[in-house]
């Protein structure tokens, strides 16, 4: 090729490249307008938007600045949090012009990704200037509290290997490592054994630091308890308030190693993120110690202010100058003084000495009663349904893997291509039963919805009282074991109304609720039957090993009341179960008959990775025992995702609510006789809580009497009950919309 | 959240009458490979709000359904991709009437309303 030709070919290639870049730049500005409301302009201005150069797509401030400054000097750079773009302002229009020409289509290497930047002019840069958020009352952060040498000495002072197998278990569970000195902090009751000091007192290496604290007036008494926490990237600790009765007011925490972001949450919902740089000391007093929870979200990257001499490290309140900070290993030394008298602070809602029960967050100090108004009902359900399901999601899901045959049957009869909504879908058990359907699930629990999505189903978070689906958009819907969690008849009615609203004319809904009558037609439900078996085995207090037992395996007894007289009789004979005025909700004893309709049912949380396998072992045994046709209606095709080996179910979510391994800060704990733990002894790497103590959660239920569900549905206009039956301890109806 | 799901979702903020369809503001989108089942896709089409799908999809879809779409494999493949393969992982859904944004995180839309919106 002669030189002229070569030049021409090069020019041709170049213009083709240029055209491609321009095309993509136009597309990018299109997207910015459509999705972000950002208008770009073809006329040069001083302000430029950089598409793909944002915190939202993993580009840090430093990375972007280094590319930008290769071209023109930048007057200001604004990177809105979570967005895939940034705004750059130049000194002059000419400067911006030059920058655009040079940088448009430029590639940027961020981590392992190659990102292409597209620049366009914008008329104005708008960003919300948020006010700087003040730190929680009583919180003080002192930076550079120890020198790098002192930091090294302190880190070396911790002998992780000399610890018991707890530390090895923690590491293998990808859990933060914990070690105590002075007194042991117990995670089963969130308190300290004050009568049994540990052999190892605080390490001598800590003395200079503590003396410095006393000298600077940060503390007045020498601490006598130390907890060392080591967090790898991706590890955290759920939000909690340090137990009031265990420790005196002032708590100091020294951060060594990598910086992290600690989040403080006020009961009213305010969230204040605080950057804790390495070698800084955090002092918690007053509200920050007694009222706000603090926690570290398990993450690999935090959004932090870009280092500048003007912005203090703790200033995450404004949106200016943010960047991404990759987490590294952080070790915290938390020093506390053991409290020997009850706490008498000014924050009784979070104070265990003054009656507060839950360590999660402020909760009513007295046992709950049946709500008399909508607001009370919402609060009750929040505490005794929603929070519980979010906390137990993983364990709960592992016990909910066998779809009930009658529900499967209902789903199998739906024509192919039907739109099905599963309201209160839980872990998505029914979402894949009939793959011919267009299914969407919704649940109030984010944690459970996450499990659905991890399994490949479509689900969203919403309340059953207000389902964000269009009226008459579904061919069918199911609501299995949901409505019994609503604490007033009005709310239960509203839930049924929502189900009928989303149905198209002639569409059908299937509703299952827990029955007050666990024995029906002289047949005890499995829920009750297990009690007798356990009683013989253990002669110990009843507790649920797997609530799955309330579900039928094999043949289920379905008694339909098809005769009209039967129906009427059922309604008339509804017993008057004493309620009493302002009745306190009692806690039910699992595996016994119900003696009241409104109650709290305990859930004993089991922890550890191998949880699912243990349950499936039990289950397959049962499957073999019962008739062979147990799940045949459920196996619609080989594509069904319901498998009986929950060991393959997703690992515990890393959301801070779900840190249910040994170091969790959970609510009330009950002791179990030691031989009950033999059922869990075949799990290898389980983080066993001390002394076999296990967290207990209480879920609110309103169990339905015979005929009650039908009567409820009868109050809804435009829908009729076409079938009603009892299925293994549940009352069930099939409704059809007119 | 797949676009099939988006087609079903509506804003349920109190007082809103034109809450459908929700505007998609995506910051992270993924395209998966899903087994193509022409029968399943053609059964889905009559259940959809077609105009809402056209609006949501960035690709060109005909403003109105083509006749005999059941046998038009190319068309069905396009619809299959848009409805079942494109997934919004991060972003939000915006109510067209009130402007209220419902966040999408890890593929999950959070449609919970606050006390005052229900």
Q: Across the interface, do B2 and A436 touch by the CB < 8 Å criterion?
A: no
C-alpha torsion B98→B99→B100→B104, nearest 10: 140
Least confidently predicted of A7-11, A204-208, A290-294, A725-729: A7-11
% of chain A residues with pLDDT over 70: 73
Can you tell me the mean pLDDT for A279-302?
A: 90
Look at residue A604 and tell me if it is in a domain. Answer: no
Q: Are residue A29 and residue A55 in the same domain, yes or no?
A: yes
Highest mean pLDDT of the ranges A176-190, A610-624, A656-670, B97-111: B97-111
CB A730 within 8 A of CB A518: no
User: Which of A121, A153, A177 is the C-terminal boundary of a domain?
Assistant: A121
User: How close is the nearest chain B Cα to the Cα of A169, in Å?
Assistant: 29
- Higher per-residue confidence, A240 vs A549: A240
User: Which residue, among A587, A577, A175, A194, has the nearest Cα to A368 in the 3D structure?
Assistant: A587
Taking the Cβ of residue A301 and every Cβ of chain B, the question of whether any pair is shorter than 8 Å is answered with no
Domain that holds residue A168: 139-308+316-350
Can you tell me the mean pLDDT for A677-684?
A: 29
% of chain A residues with pLDDT over 90: 39
Q: Are residue A108 and residue A151 in the same domain, yes or no?
A: no
Question: Which 3-state string (H, E, C) describes A94-159?
Answer: HHHHHHHHHHCCCEEEECCEEEECEEEEECCCCCCCCCCCCCCCCEEEECCCCCHHHHHHHHHHCC
pLDDT higher than 90, residue A154:
yes
Q: Are residue A288 and residue A194 in the same domain, yes or no?
A: yes
User: Which residue, among A604, A612, A694, A686, has the nearest Cα to A651 in the 3D structure?
Assistant: A612
Q: Which tens digit of pLDDT belongs to each residue from A686-699? A: 223 333 456 778 89
Coil, strand or helix: which one is A186? strand
Q: Is A254 exposed, middle or buried (0-12, 13-18, 19+ CB in 10 A)?
A: buried
Q: Across the interface, do B1 and A57 touch by the CB < 8 Å criterion?
A: no
Residue-level pLDDT at A369: 81
pLDDT higher than 60, residue A545:
no
Least confidently predicted of A251-255, A387-391, A427-431: A387-391
Highest mean pLDDT of the ranges A102-116, A543-557, B83-97: B83-97
% of chain B residues with pLDDT over 90: 70
CB A72 within 8 A of CB A47: no
pLDDT higher than 50, residue A359:
no
Which position has the token pair 């964000």?
A: A468
Q: E strands within A496-614?
A: 503-514, 519-520, 523-524, 558-560, 586-587, 598-604
Q: Which tens digit of pLDDT belongs to each residue from A16-38? A: 888 888 888 888 888 888 777 78
CB A717 within 8 A of CB A484: no
Q: Which of A378, A417, A438 sits opposite B4 (nearest CB)?
A: A438
Distance, C-alpha A303 to centroid of its chain: 20
Confidence (pTM):
0.50
Q: Residue A679 and residue B106: Cα distance in Å, rounded?
A: 35
Residue-level pLDDT at A515: 92
Q: Are residue A336 and residue A478 in the same domain, yes or no?
A: no
Residue-level pLDDT at A457: 94
Can you tell me the mean pLDDT for B28-56?
A: 92
The CATH number given to whatever domain includes residue A74 is 3.30.70.330
Q: Are residue A218 and residue A172 in the same domain, yes or no?
A: yes
Can you tell me the mean pLDDT for A704-722?
A: 94
The CATH number given to whatever domain includes residue A235 is 2.60.120.1520
Q: B-chain residues within 8 Å CB-CB of A470?
A: 8, 10, 20
CB A365 within 8 A of CB A345: no
Look at residue A643 and tell me if it is in a domain. Answer: no
Q: Which of A57, A84, A463 sits opposite B112 (nearest CB)?
A: A463
Highest mean pLDDT of the ranges A302-306, A480-484, A561-565, A614-618: A480-484
**And the tokens for A367?**
């046992």
Buried b (16+ CB within 10 A) or exposed e, A607-629: bbbebbbbbbeebeebbeeeeee
Buried b (16+ CB within 10 A) or exposed e, A697-722: bbbbbbbbbbbbbbbbbbebeebebe
Instruction: Quickly list DSSP for A410-454.
Output: HHHTSPTT-EEEEET-TTTTTTTS-TTSEEEEEES-HHHHHHHHH
**pLDDT band for position B84 (cuts 50, 70, 90):** very high
CB A474 within 8 A of CB A498: no
pLDDT higher than 80, residue A162:
no
Residue-level pLDDT at A324: 82
Q: Across the interface, do A35 and B91 touch by the CB < 8 Å criterion?
A: yes
Q: Are residue A335 and residue A413 in the same domain, yes or no?
A: no
Q: B-chain residues within 8 Å CB-CB of A442?
A: 111
Strands A586-587 and A598-604: parallel
Residue-level pLDDT at A307: 59
Chain B residue set in contact with A, beta carbons under 8 Å: 1-2, 4-5, 8-12, 20, 24-28, 39-40, 43-44, 47, 90-91, 102, 106-113, 115, 118
pLDDT higher than 90, residue A383:
no
Q: Which tens digit of pLDDT belongs to each residue from A595-605? A: 888 888 888 87
**pLDDT band for position A280 (cuts 50, 70, 90):** very high
Residue-level pLDDT at A723: 94
Residue-level pLDDT at A522: 66
Q: Which tens digit of pLDDT belongs to each residue from A392-450? A: 888 888 888 889 999 999 999 999 999 999 999 999 999 999 999 999 999 999 999 99
Least confidently predicted of A94-103, A112-121, A149-158, A360-369: A360-369
Q: Which of B2, B110, B115 sits opposite A461 (nearest CB)?
A: B110
Can you tell me the mean pLDDT for A325-334?
A: 91
CA dist A603 to A155, A191, A564, A681, Å?
A: 40, 22, 39, 20
Can you tell me the mean pLDDT for A183-204?
A: 83
The ipTM is 0.96
Q: Across the interface, do A460 and B4 touch by the CB < 8 Å criterion?
A: no
User: How close is the nearest chain B Cα to the Cα of A204, in Å?
Assistant: 46
Distance, C-alpha A108 to centroid of its chain: 34
> In chain A, whose CA is at the least distance from the CA of B88?
A458
Q: Which residues contact A375 (CB under 8 A, 6 or more apart)?
A: none
Q: Residue A430 and residue A641: Cα distance in Å, rounded?
A: 9
Can you tell me the mean pLDDT for A647-651?
A: 28
Residue-level pLDDT at A58: 81
Q: Are residue A333 and residue A382 in the same domain, yes or no?
A: no
> In chain A, whose CA is at the least distance from the CA of B25?
A35
Q: Are residue A145 and residue A220 in the same domain, yes or no?
A: yes
Strands A191-197 and A322-326: unpaired
Q: Are residue A103 and residue A51 in the same domain, yes or no?
A: yes
Beta bridge partners of A719: A737
Look at residue A571 and tell me if it is in a domain. Answer: no
Q: E strands within A148-211?
A: 177-181, 183-186, 191-197
Interface test with B, best of A51, A373, A438 (most B CBs within 10 A): A438
Q: Are residue A33 and residue A77 in the same domain, yes or no?
A: yes
CA dist A220 to A345, A409, A696, Å?
A: 18, 69, 38
Residue-level pLDDT at A37: 75
Q: Residue A651 and residue B42: Cα distance in Å, rounded?
A: 36
User: Which of A121, A153, A176 is the C-terminal boundary of a domain?
Assistant: A121
Q: Are residue A57 and residue A150 in the same domain, yes or no?
A: no
- Higher per-residue confidence, A83 vs A417: A417
List A residues 547-606 in contact with B (Cβ-Cβ < 8 A). Answer: none
Q: Are residue A419 and residue A299 in the same domain, yes or no?
A: no
Q: Which residues contact A488 (CB under 8 A, 6 or more apart)?
A: A371, A374, A377
- Higher per-residue confidence, A710 vs A536: A710
Q: Residue A603 and residue A64: Cα distance in Å, rounded?
A: 50
pLDDT higher than 60, residue A309:
no
Q: Residue B43 and residue B46: Cα distance in Å, rounded?
A: 7
Which stretches within A521-563 are classed as H helix?
A: 526-538
**pLDDT band for position A132 (cuts 50, 70, 90):** low
Which position has the token pair 């085995």?
A: A537
Coil, strand or helix: which one is A35? helix
| End-to-end C-alpha distance for chain A, whole angstroms | 80
Q: Residue A256 and residue A235: Cα distance in Å, rounded?
A: 15
| Three-point CA angle A628, A632, A633, nearest 5° | 140
CB A295 within 8 A of CB A651: no
- Higher per-residue confidence, A644 vs A734: A734
Least confidently predicted of A99-103, A381-385, A566-570, A643-647: A643-647
- Higher per-residue confidence, A408 vs A8: A408
Interface test with A, best of B108, B115, B117, B118 (most A CBs within 10 A): B108
Least confidently predicted of A182-191, A290-299, A637-646, B16-25: A637-646
**pLDDT band for position A550 (cuts 50, 70, 90):** very low
Highest mean pLDDT of the ranges A62-66, A159-163, A191-195: A62-66
Residue-level pLDDT at A687: 29
Residue-level pLDDT at A405: 92
> In chain B, whose CA is at the least distance from the CA of A457?
B1
Q: A-chain residues within 8 Å CB-CB of B5?
A: 440, 458, 460
> In chain A, whose CA is at the least distance from the CA of B58?
A31
How many residue pairs from chains A and B have C-beta atoms closer than 8 A? 83
Q: Across the interface, do B2 and A458 touch by the CB < 8 Å criterion?
A: yes
Can you tell me the mean pLDDT for A589-617?
A: 64
State how many domains chain A has: 3
pLDDT higher than 80, residue A232:
yes
pLDDT higher than 80, residue A3:
no
CA dist A526 to A535, A569, A592, A666, B34, Å?
A: 14, 26, 11, 30, 40
pLDDT higher than 90, residue A717:
yes
Q: Residue A724 and residue A708: Cα distance in Å, rounded?
A: 11
Interface test with B, best of A419, A444, A460, A472 (most B CBs within 10 A): A460
CB B103 within 8 A of CB B25: no
Q: Which residues contact A15 (CB under 8 A, 6 or more apart)?
A: none
Q: Residue A41 and residue A45: Cα distance in Å, rounded?
A: 8
CA dist B99 to A31, A651, B4, B6, Å?
A: 19, 36, 22, 17
Q: E strands within A309-464?
A: 322-326, 330-336, 419-423, 438-443, 459-461
Q: Across the interface, do A417 and B47 touch by the CB < 8 Å criterion?
A: yes
Q: Residue A574 and residue A718: Cα distance in Å, rounded?
A: 25
Q: B-chain residues within 8 Å CB-CB of A436?
A: 40
CB A614 within 8 A of CB A679: yes
pLDDT higher than 60, residue A557:
no
Taking the Cβ of residue A133 and every Cβ of chain B, the question of whether any pair is shorter than 8 Å is answered with no
State chain A's mean pLDDT as an integer: 76
ω into residue B21 within 30 of 0, thus cis? yes
Residue-level pLDDT at B88: 94
Q: A-chain residues within 8 Å CB-CB of B27?
A: 35, 56-57, 82-84
Residues belonging to chain A: 738
Residue-level pLDDT at A146: 95
pLDDT higher than 80, residue A167:
no
**pLDDT band for position A170 (cuts 50, 70, 90):** low
Taking the Cβ of residue A459 and every Cβ of chain B, the question of whether any pair is shorter than 8 Å is answered with yes
Q: Which of B90, B91, B108 sits opposite A450 (nearest CB)?
A: B108
User: How close is the nearest chain B Cα to the Cα of A296, in Å?
Assistant: 19
- Higher per-residue confidence, A189 vs A453: A453
């Amino acid at each position: 090729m002669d030189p002229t030709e070569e030049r021409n070919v090069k020019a041709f290639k170049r213009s083709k490249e240029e055209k491609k870049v321009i095309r993509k730049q136009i597309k990018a500005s299109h997207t910015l307008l459509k999705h972000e409301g950002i208008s770009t302009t073809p006329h040069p201005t001083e302000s430029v938007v950089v598409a793909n150069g944002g915190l939202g797509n993993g580009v840090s401030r430093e990375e972007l600045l280094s590319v930008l400054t290769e071209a023109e000097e930048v007057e200001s750079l604004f990177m809105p949090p979570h967005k895939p773009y940034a705004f750059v302002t130049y000194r002059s229009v000419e400067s911006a012009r030059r920058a655009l020409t040079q940088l448009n289509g430029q590639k940027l290497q961020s981590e392992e990704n190659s990102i292409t930047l597209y620049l366009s002019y914008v008329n104005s840069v708008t960003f919300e200037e948020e006010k700087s958020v003040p730190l929680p009352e009583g919180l003080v952060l002192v930076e550079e509290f120890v020198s790098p040498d002192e930091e090294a000495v302190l880190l070396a002072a911790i002998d992780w290997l000399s610890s018991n197998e707890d530390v090895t278990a923690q590491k293998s569970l990808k859990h933060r490592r914990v070690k105590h000195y002075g007194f042991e902090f117990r995670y089963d009751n969130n308190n300290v054994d004050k009568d049994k000091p540990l052999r190892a007192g605080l390490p001598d290496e800590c003395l200079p630091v503590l003396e410095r604290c006393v000298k600077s007036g940060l503390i007045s008494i020498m601490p006598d308890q130390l907890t060392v926490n080591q967090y790898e990237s991706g590890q955290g600790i759920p939000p909690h308030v340090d137990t009031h009765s265990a420790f005196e007011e002032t708590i100091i925490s020294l951060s060594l190693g990598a910086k992290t972001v600690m989040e403080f949450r006020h009961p009213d919902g305010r969230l204040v993120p605080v950057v804790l740089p390495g070698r800084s000391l955090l002092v918690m007093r007053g509200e920050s110690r007694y009222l706000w929870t603090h926690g570290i979200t398990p993450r690999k990257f935090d959004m932090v202010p870009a280092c500048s001499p003007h912005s203090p490290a703790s200033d995450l309140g404004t949106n200016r100058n943010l960047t991404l900070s990759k987490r590294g290993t952080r070790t915290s030394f938390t020093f506390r003084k053991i409290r020997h008298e009850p706490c008498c602070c000014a924050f009784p809602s979070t104070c265990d000495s003054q009656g507060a029960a839950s360590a999660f967050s402020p909760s009513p100090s007295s046992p709950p009663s049946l709500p008399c108004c909508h607001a009370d009902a919402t609060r009750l359900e929040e505490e005794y349904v929603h929070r519980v399901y979010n906390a137990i999601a993983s364990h709960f899901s592992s016990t909910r893997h066998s779809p009930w045959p009658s529900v499967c049957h209902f789903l199998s009869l739906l024509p192919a291509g039907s739109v099905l909504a599963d309201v209160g879908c839980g872990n998505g058990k029914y979402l894949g039963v009939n793959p011919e359907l267009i299914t969407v699930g919704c649940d109030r629990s984010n944690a459970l919805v996450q499990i659905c999505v991890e399994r490949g189903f479509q689900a969203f978070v919403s309340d059953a009282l207000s389902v964000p689906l269009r009226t008459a958009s579904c061919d069918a819907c199911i609501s299995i074991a949901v409505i019994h969690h609503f604490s007033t008849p009005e709310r239960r009615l509203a839930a049924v109304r929502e189900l009928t609203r989303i149905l198209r004319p002639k569409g059908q809904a299937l509703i299952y609720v827990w029955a007050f009558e666990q024995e029906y037609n002289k047949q005890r439900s499995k829920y009750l039957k297990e009690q007798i078996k356990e009683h013989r085995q253990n002669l110990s207090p009843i507790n649920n090993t797997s609530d799955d037992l309330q579900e039928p395996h094999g043949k289920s007894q379905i008694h339909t009341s098809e005769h009209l007289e039967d129906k009427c009789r059922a309604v008339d004979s509804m017993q008057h179960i004493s309620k009493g005025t302002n009745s306190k909700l009692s806690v039910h004893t699992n595996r016994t008959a119900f003696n009241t309709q409104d109650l709290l049912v305990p859930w004993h949380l089991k922890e550890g990775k191998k949880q699912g396998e243990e349950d499936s072992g039990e289950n397959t045994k049962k499957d073999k025992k019962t008739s062979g046709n147990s799940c045949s209606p459920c196996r619609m095709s080989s594509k069904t995702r319901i498998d009986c080996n929950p060991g393959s179910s997703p690992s515990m979510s890393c959301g801070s609510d779900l840190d249910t391994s040994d170091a969790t800060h959970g609510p009330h704990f009950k002791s179990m006789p030691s031989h009950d733990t033999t059922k869990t002894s075949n799990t290898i790497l389980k983080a066993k809580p001390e002394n076999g103590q296990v967290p207990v959660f209480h879920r609110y239920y309103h169990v339905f009497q015979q005929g009650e569900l039908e009567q409820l549905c009868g109050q809804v206009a435009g829908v009729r009950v076409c079938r009603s039956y009892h299925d293994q301890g549940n009352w069930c109806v099939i409704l059809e919309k007119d | 959240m797949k676009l099939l799901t988006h087609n079903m979702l509506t804003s349920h903020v109190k007082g809103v009458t034109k809450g459908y369809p929700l505007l998609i503001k995506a910051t992270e989108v993924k395209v998966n490979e899903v087994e193509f089942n022409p029968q399943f896709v053609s059964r889905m089409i009559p259940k959809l709000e077609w105009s809402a799908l056209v609006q949501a999809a960035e690709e060109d879809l005909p403003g109105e359904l083509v006749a005999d779409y059941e046998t038009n494999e190319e068309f069905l493949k396009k619809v299959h991709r848009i409805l079942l393969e494109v997934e919004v992982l991060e972003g939000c859904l915006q109510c067209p009437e009130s402007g209220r944004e419902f966040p999408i995180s890890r593929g999950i839309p959070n449609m919970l309303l606050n006390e005052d919106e229900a």
